[in-house]
Structures are given as C-alpha cells and as structure tokens.
Structure 1
C-alpha cells in the first residue's frame, strides 16, 4: 500500500541495487554494526553478472574476467569460497578480416607489415593521450573539453587510421562500451583505458584483464554475499522515489511500502538513476548525467561441442572478425576432455531482433568460418541479449557520446544531500569492472559510516 511502512523498515542505511557495489557496501556497513536494507529491482542479485548453463557447464552471461590486479573482487571471491581458473589462451588466434581467414600469435593480429606499423602508431597515440588523463576526474584533465568534443571514431579518422586498425578498434569499442567508436567520446574512451591500466592491460589475457575466470561464475560471488546478508536483501523491489530532509533522513518508496533511513547509497548505473524520482530533485548536472550517459548494448552466445576440437588444430579459441554477428570469441571449456565451449560476443544490431533459432544459426555458421565444418555440429547453445533485459537493460558500460563526460562527469560520485553514489561507473581506477564496483561500494559505505559516527557523537552531546 502506498505510503505504508512495514515493521522493521527503519534502518541506518538503504542501499539501492544488489550488484557488486551494493552488496559490498552492505557487507562493509554490517561489519561496522550498522543496520542495512538492500533493495533490488530484479528478481536476482549480481547486476550485470548473470550465470547460465550450456551442456552442463556454468558460464558467465555477463561480467566474466578478473585480472591479477583486481585484488578487491578477488579477495571477495576468496572470502565466499569461489575459485579462479586461467582463461585458456594456448595456441594460435584466428582473424577473419576482409573476407580472409588468418591465424596469429599474441594480442594484436599480424595482418601485414603496413597494418602492424599503423596499429603500433595508433597505440602510441592512444597511450600518449591516456597518460594525460586524470583517472579520478577525467573531466578535469587539461584539454578535457577538446578531447570530449570528438568521438573516438572521428579521432581515428583524423589520425588516418588504416581500415585494419579501425576494425580492431571497433572490436575494442564494442566489447568495452557496447557501441562503435563513432558513438563514444574520445575522452570517455581514454578514461576507461586509463582506468583499466592502459591499452595493453585492457586487451591482454596473460597478465591482463582477461587473465582469469571464476569457476563457479561471477554471479555466484554475489549470491554467496547475499546469502550472508540474509533478509537484509529484498528482491523484486524497485525503488520509485527517494525523499530526504536534513532532520528526518531519507524515505525510500517502493511498490510495497516505505523504508526510513538516515542515508541512502544508490548503486544504479547513471542512466538508470533516471528511473527514480528524487525529492528534492537532482541538481542540473546530476539530472543531465542520468539523461546523457546512456548504456551500451552487448549480447553473448555460448556454443558447446563434444570436445574443444579447435585445440587439436592448434587454435586457442580466441578469434576476431570484422564482419557478421560474432566479432570476438574465447574458449571457456572446463577441461581438455570436453565439453568444448566457445563464448561469442555478438553485435546486437544484427542479433537481438531475431528468434533464438535464427540467432543460433547465425552464430554457428560464423563459427564454422572461423574453426571449420566441425563447428556446424554443436551439442548445445544459449545466449543472452542485455539490451532486452526487462529491468535496467544494457551493458557492459555506458556508451557516452561527445560532450557528456566533460559536462556531466563530475556528478558521477558527488553526493546529493543524504544520497551517496556507488557503482563501477563512479570508480576512478578500474571503472567498468567488478573490481571497480566492489571498491566503490566499500568506499561509499566507509563515508556513510563515518557520517553516522558523527551523527551519534552529535546526539550524545545534546
């Protein structure tokens, strides 16, 4: 009933969102003795982490990898009993470009001497700009307005990038931001590359961001944290309105009633903040952030075979292609004996609108181009379209167009009265990763805990 308040719904802190940021914030607050309630609009925890199963193998439909340097999420995984396994990367990678299939070793495809020289030139140009970026406040970087006035794609054009270099940068853009280079600002792209530890760390498997996977899946980490929090986590409870005043704290309204708290931590992605009504209203910059920082869109497919047959052919299962539905693949098979499982990143523009059967056919046919006719005989298939999610759709990260980072970026983590923000987008280092989400949740919790301690001291002096 609207306006009603259930017993036990007065807490120190309400956390909005049960992804890695929200659960980490709640866990940290509980450890300080604070009462917490986590409200999640979905029917599950994990946010952009979601488990699936193909041929009896658990797979990550969303967030997948952890780097060695992702110590926060690795520590969290270890504490709840989840384990890591190396991302398989032995053998030669496959490149399909301009209608031709090649194989190569290493991170960057070796198309031709001229293409290699051009790719090295563009990497150097990117790295030079990345070095100037303030990772904690990219909008305050010298020349930020200029960097934000052009798209990543326009910059590549101005630098006369060769088609092969442009194709590889397009793959990077699709994986990182769920869009093409022309849809994301140069400043936003540079910010994420800097936060990822540089272009090499962003792209590499061995020693890079694709170093390890979670055996139990990344969502299992969130599930186990939520189990520890118990009835402090409420699912199917979208937040509709947050009202606040300095004297009585915040009132959070959901479809089932109201919750009173002294502070709120909102972990929704910037675009999804717009689904919540705030009273008092968000400042202009924060409101603009919610409107301008739209989410990218990405889809994933998993195709299972009796064995990872591509390994016998000397292939790693990693492929990059410049055409079709699939644009990159990885081998996520549990063992050499099988089943063999290929994970394929798919372009939603030529994927999401089709039936499950048509999507399967498109992916399988393209895998046959990459790995041969044995790819035409899978034993299982599944996919997930993040743009079609019924609640908080999109991912993996915001696809922020020119001007929006410089204009609105400061509002990412700037508190709105008693409302504090967390979520991977608000991170400096490791923005866009689960590690960034964990760190921001912990930091927001620590800030709010310190404020609560100040409140307690003030009340004691009255």
Structure 2
C-alpha cells in the first residue's frame, strides 16, 4: 500500500470500513454488504459484541453487559426474528421478597405487592407527561417543550412530585441506575422518552428493562448478524487515527497498519473518541458532545451466595452502591446467584469480595458470599462508560453526534433516536448509518 493508503492501482482497499464490532457495527456492516460494498470491520478487542458480553459463572451463561430486550424494541426484535432467537425470562415475577434500601442505609422489607404498587405509582407520576411530551417517540425533539425541559434534572422533577418515602427512594434508585450518576445530573426528559417508547406504559417498560433476555445470549445474535455481512473482520485492531480527504479515508491502527476506503462508519463509545486522532478534527459540536454529554459510571456484578434466598429483588437508593440486586438463579443445591447492577461503580471496589459481601449483607443479613463475577465498564479502556445516558442539557444535542462529517458516518447507541441506553438503539443507529452511506455512494459530491 502506498503512503496515501491506496493500492498501486490507486483504488481504495475497501468501499467502507466499520470501526467497532458491537451491534451498531455488525448491523452497519451487514447493511453495507447488502448494498454490494466491500466492507472491513476493525475491532479493538479480541471479541465482538461491544458493550454486550457473555461469560460463565457457576456453570451458567451470564450477561455482563447490555441484556434487556423486548418486543417493543422494534429494531432488535426484528433481528431476533430474522435469525430465529427467542426470549429467556429472568425470574423477576412472583417475588418471594422485596427490599428497599433508603439513602441513609435503612432497609425496608416490603411485601412484593406493596413494592410493585408503590414503585409503579412513582413511575407513573414521574412519567405522567410522556405521551404529551413524546407523541412520536422516535422523533423525540419535535416537541419544543422537550428542548426546554432538557435543562431540568431528574432529581429536580422527582422532588416536585410530593411522593412518599418508598416511592421517592425506589424511583431515585432507578434513575441513578439509568443515569450512572447522581440524579442531579440526569436529563429528566431523556428518561421519560423510554416510557413513551414502551407504549406509554409502566408495566411494559419494567418488563423491557429487567425481565427478558435473548435466548442463546446476545453474543450469539451479534455473531449471526456479523456473519451475514461476510465482511473482513480484524480483531485486536485498535484504530489510532482517521484521516479523510477528497479521495477517501485512511485509518491507521496502533500497530501501524493502514487501511483505506471511500467511507468509514465509526461506532465507538462516545468517551473513546478522544483516543483517536482525526484529520481534519471533528466538528466543535461533536467535540463538545463528547466532552460533556455522557456520564455513566456503571458496572455489572454476579454473586454466588451459599444460602437459597429465593426469588428476591432490592432497590438501593443513592449513595448506596448497588442500585439493583435481583435473584438470577436459586435452588437447594446451588444456593443463590444474584445479579447486581451499579450506576456508580466508583462508590465501591467491585473486585473486592469482602466489600461486596458487606454490601449484600445490608440487605440479606446472613448471606455467605462464596464467589463473585464482576465487570467494570467504566474502567474498560475501550468503553470508558457503561450504557449511554445523557447529562441534563445534552439530550437535546445528540443529533450533533449522529451527524455525518464528510466521509465519516457515526453510529452507536448514544446517537439513536429511540432506545439510546439499549441494544435496540445500537441496531437502529447501524441501520441509519448504512442508509446515510447509500446516499453518499449515490451522490458522492
């Protein structure tokens, strides 16, 4: 290859290079290949899947990243239908016990029916205007009032509702989990949009976030999509720089290898963009979004407890580090596997088994922790944040991150119109980027 990144004949190596082999990248690659394009996928990790990741713990498959799926998430559901994947149901219904840890550390043992009723009442109150604000949820900024309300934090709105102690604590725990930050930072309307996407229905929303996973695992679905692309895929290929000019784009890896194409589709998590040198630089609007918009300090953790605790769920209000603790599996011989989701991993060392055990015993007093399986997305150098959440004032700016710049197209869940904290948002964004690519090739001028 010449210094310009083209072959001796002057032709680019590929029509399109996709950076990232998560769901956004896999879908973009497949759609580009369906257009007849020569596609290269560059993935910095030694695996595909991005911020979804499947592992094993106590002989069971576990999801250590994005996992929640539902049929009201149309892009992902279509992919599951296309490749023959069904739903696996988590044991969230028919709880034996429900707990609420308040911000001061007190733990309430709440009858499950009461817990559901009070949480649902809080959620309904918080999202009471969802249909009014988002009559068409996939056009979330069409209502001018949404732009004005973006400056309102989730905390400010929550504390204006006159909720009781249990309602306020359970809703604040949920919001902390979604924001991956104190609720004083989270954009109020960015969360309400999820309620609108779930058919303006609290029960459906709750099912979409906690109850259903992909049968066979998210990794298998991502593999099926990427296999359909028949693209060249290179793992361990960390992109160091991206240069674009009139003839095309040249991507240089940390190893020094160089590849050229007519266009590039970038699906990096937002906070990773500063690790790549762009020539010319990205727009000022994108740079401001990258610096300010996202904040999620989240992580995932599985814990094996000797005792059979039954089917339980607990919300823990901020600043308690474990926002949601739910039974993943249980039985007389197994004991209990707990799945824990943290919005603010910086509040605890999730690799310290003693610290983890001490937190669990605040809810399950006699629990004997035998082993743990943590994954810290906020400290992963190829993500730097967990799920995509918007700081107040920045939800209204997400389209700046999604906008094409010359021969560069941008995808990833943070750029989605719809379910931006979910796999569905990543799939949606990959479809959009491929559509933008089609327009570029039809009219490259």
Shorter-chain TM-score bucket reads 0.7 to 0.9
Q: How far apart, in 2, do the equivalents of 1:290 and 1:195 lie?
A: 25
Match of 1:356 in 2: 352
Structural mapping, 1:133-172, within 5 Å = 133=134, 135-136=137-138, 138-172=140-174
Change (3 A) 1:55 1:270: same
Change (3 A) 1:135 1:242: farther
Match of 1:102 in 2: 109
Match of 2:179 in 1: 177
Q: How far apart, in 1, do the equivalents of 2:333 and 2:72 lie?
A: 30
So what's the TM-score if we normalise by structure 2? 0.85
Deviates more, 1:78-87 or 1:331-340: 331-340
Q: Runs of 5+ in structure 2 lacking a partner?
A: none
> How much has 1:348 moved relative to structure 2?
1.2
Structural mapping, 1:216-231, within 5 Å = 216-227=216-227, 229=229
Structural mapping, 1:47-446, within 5 Å = 47-77=50-80, 79-80=82-83, 82-88=85-91, 89-98=93-102, 99-105=106-112, 108-110=115-117, 120=121, 123-129=124-130, 131-133=132-134, 135-136=137-138, 138-198=140-200, 200=202, 203-205=205-207, 208-227=208-227, 229=229, 232-245=232-245, 247-255=246-254, 256-305=256-305, 309-311=308-310, 316-322=311-317, 324-333=320-329, 338=334, 340-346=336-342, 347-352=344-349, 355-366=351-362, 368-369=364-365, 373=366, 375-376=367-368, 378-398=369-389, 400-406=390-396, 408-446=397-435
Q: How far apart, in 2, do the equivalents of 1:105 and 1:203 lie?
A: 18
Change (3 A) 1:258 1:58: same
Contact in 2 for aligned 1:139/1:405 (Cα 8 Å): no
Deviates more, 1:260-269 or 1:211-220: 211-220
Aligned residues: 434
Q: How far apart, in 1, do the equivalents of 2:84 and 2:6 lie?
A: 34
Change (3 A) 1:122 1:52: closer
Q: Runs of 5+ in structure 1 lacking a partner?
A: none
Contact in 2 for aligned 1:95/1:109 (Cα 8 Å): no
Change (3 A) 1:294 1:321: closer
Change (3 A) 1:435 1:238: same
